[in-house]
Amino acid sequence: MTEMILYVLGLIYVAVGIRAMLYPGFFTEMIEEYENSSALTYLTGFIVVATCAVLLRFHNDWSGWRVGVASFVLWAGLIKGFSLLAFPRVMFGVWNKMPAWVISRASGLFILVIGAALIWWAYSPV
């Protein structure tokens, strides 16, 4: 299960990293759309909480570095999804105060590298 979680998360991060590098205004536009749509914010938070909670039910394992990375990312996702449901305005306030470098091509490259590392860790020998 660890391999599947790392692989899927890695694919998502790689795709988001590529998108952020090709379209640097992507994150800003996305956050503006979230702020203008309570339904989108609610639905995203609901899906993230449901997905992470189910996966954590079967994979809350900290016995090694690889499984720990997968569990950490799932817990971070659960907290983020819960925050979107319970405190959306606080989340938007935090996102809107992020420095410009967070929303740049450099951050896209960083996300891409993290995604590639997750995919590599999914299949590398322990």
Domain ranges of the chain: 2-121
**Residue with the larger pLDDT of the pair 26 and 76:** 76
Distance CA 54, CA 56 (A): 5
Residue 103 in this model has a pLDDT that exceeds 80? no
Residue 101 in this model has a pLDDT that exceeds 70? no
Q: Give the burial class of 6: count Cβ atoms within 10 A of its Cβ; 0-12 exposed, 13-18 middle, 19 or more buried.
A: buried
Distance CA 14, CA 16 (A): 6
| Reported confidence tier of residue 15, pLDDT bands at 50, 70, 90 | very high
Q: What percent of the chain has pLDDT over 90?
A: 63
Residue 97 in this model has a pLDDT that exceeds 70? yes
**Average pLDDT over all residues of the chain:** 90
Q: Amino acid identity of 74?
A: L
Residue 99 in this model has a pLDDT that exceeds 80? no
pLDDT of residue 55: 94
